[in-house]
Structure 1
Amino acid sequence: MNSTLVRDAVALVARIGLGVVFIAHGWQKLNTFGLDGTAASFEAMNIPVPTASAYFATFVELIGGGALVLGIFTPIAGLLLFADMVGAAFLVHFENGVFATENGYELVVALGVGALMLAAFGAGRISIDGITKGKTAILQ
């Protein structure tokens, strides 16, 4: 079996899976809660500059998630999504323990590490980055 093809297929599945979850969370912030509601929620959680943080989280998750699905600008999208999840982990979730059922950090750590891996190792050849010969990984 061609290990490069397997690597590319795994990167595709990982990108789509992570990207869809990030898009869903960004969409929830934008459409369900609204940006004002998200900012109010962030303020209640004592997140610094809650309005700017709400805009950052919402649009990084929407646009970055879409970029992962398409495999375009993957290193940049992955790093921004990782930063988003680091902020969520430290500012909200670590104090609640591990489990997501208790608003813990397990989901944000998994999403952040996945985004970081895609940033570091790339989108693979089955991506816009791969097709256009764009920079697909930080570690190239």
Structure 2
Amino acid sequence: MTTTDRTGLARTTALTRTVRDVVLLVARVGLGVIMIGHAKLEYDVGGSLAGVGRLFAQSGVPLPALTGPANVLFELVGGIAVILGAAVPVVGVLMALNMAGAWVFVHTSGLFAMDRNGPETVIAIGLLSLVLAVTGSGRLGLDHLAVRRLHRTPRPTT
């Protein structure tokens, strides 16, 4: 039921914002857990950061000795940042680019190839990353707290 008075409208708006913030939190935690889990998987399979570089070399990723370890560290640190709601727009864009690279170099089978090498998962992770990059962390993230603090700080007059 929709009310037309200002009190009802304010209540609906507050509820909508709260639901939005909770959904963004769930999406952030989900993406962050996936990123951290993927970093751990790559590290475990490679056996070390150098080993991850060798895995990247086998997949034809350019500059594997650099991109392999950097990818593991980015997914670990970025995953933690996304869960906390810190630097979500930046991490979201970088993760989407990371997933585009994974699609081009690693997940090269056709869509729904059923060979565990299809790009569906990296496409979904990349799209979620872009959505979070555009929407931000919501009110339940550190980004929101930092922005609020910046707006409260009085600016010096000249």
User: What range is the shorter-chain TM-score in?
Assistant: 0.7 to 0.9
Matches within 5 A, 1:1-140: 1=12, 2-33=15-46, 34-93=48-107, 95-99=108-112, 101-133=115-147
Assess if the C-alpha contact under 8 Å between 2:45 and 2:52 holds in 1.
no
**Residue by residue, what CA displacement relative to the aligned partner does 1:55-89 show, whole Å, maximum 9, x if unpaired?**
22111111111111000011111111111111101
Q: Which structure has the larger Rg?
A: 2
Indicate if the aligned counterparts of 1:11 and 1:124 stay in contact, CA closer than 8 A. Answer: yes
**TM-score, length of structure 2 as denominator length:** 0.78
Between 1:76-85 and 1:28-37, the stretch displaced more is 28-37
Amino acid at match of 2:30: G
Whichever residue aligns with residue 115 of structure 1, its letter is S
Structure 2 unaligned spans of 5+: 1-11, 149-158
TM-score by length of 1: 0.87
Q: CA deviation at 1:32?
A: 4.5
Q: How many residues align?
A: 133
State whether residues 42 and 50 of structure 1, in contact with CA within 8 Å, keep that contact through their aligned partners in structure 2.
Answer: yes
CA RMSD of aligned residues (A): 1.5
Structure 1: stretches of 5+ with no match in the other structure: 135-140
For 2:118 and 2:41, the matched residues in 1 are separated by 19
Could you say which structure has the greater relative contact order, defined with CA pairs below 8 angstroms and 6 or more residues apart?
1
CA shift at 1:49, angstroms? 0.8
SS of 1:46's equivalent?
coil
